[in-house]
Amino acid sequence: MSIKKRYLKTRPVCKVTFRLPKAAAESARKVHIAGEFNNWDTCATPMKELKDGTFTVTIDLEANREYQFRYFIDETFWENDWDADKYLPSIYGSCENSVVIV
């Protein structure tokens, strides 16, 4: 998994591309990303499946902030980003959330 960041010169915004590789979601039919940037809405931000089985989405995020997030696979299973900038304990259960710093 890789997170690509592209900062805009004209606004304090970073275009962040999230990628969930096929290896992390072998038989996934659909993947959504949920996090602080969409109020943890598990349906708000669907990811597009590429021909190689990777899921991807690009989101505009306000710069100079940190955002917790996770991938929600087939409305059943949560997955972290293996290449997140850091991880923080979730307030829900005994797991961690991925964090992207922009």
Going from N- to C-terminal start, the domains of the chain cover 2-101
- Domain 2-101, second-level architecture: Sandwich (2.60)
For residue range 27-79, list pLDDT tens digits in order: 899 999 999 999 999 999 999 999 999 999 999 999 999 999 999 999 999 99
> In 3-state terms, what secondary structure has residue 83?
coil
Q: Are 25 and 33 in contact (CB under 8 A)?
A: no
Beta bridge partners of 67: 100
* Tally of CA atoms within 13 A in the half-sphere of 97 that contains its CB: 19
Can you give the pLDDT at residue 2? 79
d(CA 56, CA 5): 13
